[in-house]
Structure 1
Amino acid sequence: MQTLAANLTQILNHHIEAIKSRDLQANMIDYHENAILILGEDVFRGKEAIQGFFKFLFESIFTEGFTIDIQKQVIEEDIIYIVWQARSSTYEIPQATDTFLIQDGLILRQTGFAIMNPI
């Protein structure tokens, strides 16, 4: 039987791979129907709103040549915390962080922060 930490690692890995490949549908598989994503003052409620946000990311920021490096990963019970940096043809992200609350194998809540510099 798979441990909770291994299961959460698998969920995170799938989420990151979907983002790396800029695959919107694969990315959205990871989200609960009633998920909430909080990024600073922006709050996206529900899978449809979150999908709209990622569509914008893939078209504007996570463009061709997008690379991401996970620098730190902490899994504690049903929470995942990551620190990462990324680069695309349009932006450099020297520091970013996300926290995920997982329920029933899906992302139920997510918060994030990123320093983003246009190239």
Structure 2
Amino acid sequence: MKTDKTTEETKKVWKHHIEAWDAGDLDEIIADYGEDSILILNNTVYKGIEAVRGVFDRLFQIFSNGKNIIDPEVIEGEVIYITWHFTPTNDDTYFGTDSFVVHKSMIKYQTIASLLYEKYPIGS
């Protein structure tokens, strides 16, 4: 069982991450990851800082053109889970989910899933 201290550390990482996301600050987003971090987006694996940076650079481009609503997060121990709804300008709303595993105040693993990325690809 994870301690309350672990959950509090995870909450701090989430707070920083979502503030950086809201600000569109790529460098601050990347500060939450390490060279051994792994991000899996719609079954494509991205490993390391530069790969994660490339994903978020593209995500900021996609999400700059529409309205995004992030539902309240669920945080338990080292795990964060979110659902979100993004409506690109002149398009339908897309539902997505993200899961994060935070270890030693860094995002070690992140998964992202949404049909959004079939129409607005990230690349590899």
Instruction: Compute the TM-score of the two structures, normalised by the length of structure 1.
Output: 0.81
- Report which of the two has the higher share of strand: 1
In 2, Cα distance between equivalents of 1:95 and 1:85: 5
Partner of 1:41: 43
Amino acid at match of 1:19: W
- Aligned-residue identity in percent: 33
SS of match in other structure, 1:33 = strand
Q: 1:113 to 1:67 in 2, by over 3 A?
A: same
The unaligned stretches of length 5 or more in structure 1 are none
Partner of 2:99: 99
Matches for 1:76-95 after TM superposition, within 5 Å: 76-89=76-89, 93-95=93-95
Q: 1:105 to 1:92 in 2, by over 3 A?
A: farther
Shift, 1:53, TM fit: 1.1
Amino acid at match of 2:80: I
Instruction: Compute the TM-score of the two structures, normalised by the length of structure 2.
Output: 0.78
- Contact 1:79–1:100 under 8 Å retained in 2: yes
Q: Which deviates further from its counterpart, 71-80 or 35-44?
A: 71-80
Matches for 1:54-65 after TM superposition, within 5 Å: 54-59=56-61, 61-63=62-64
Give the RMSD, CA atoms, in angstroms. 2.3
- Contact 1:85–1:94 under 8 Å retained in 2: yes
- Contact 1:36–1:108 under 8 Å retained in 2: yes
Partner of 1:15: 17
- Contact 1:63–1:89 under 8 Å retained in 2: no
In 2, Cα distance between equivalents of 1:101 and 1:51: 18
In 2, Cα distance between equivalents of 1:109 and 1:93: 26
Shift, 1:39, TM fit: 1.0
- Contact 2:37–2:107 under 8 Å retained in 1: yes
In 1, Cα distance between equivalents of 2:39 and 2:85: 19
The unaligned stretches of length 5 or more in structure 2 are none
Shift, 1:9, TM fit: 1.5
Shift, 1:93, TM fit: 4.7
Shift, 1:20, TM fit: 1.5
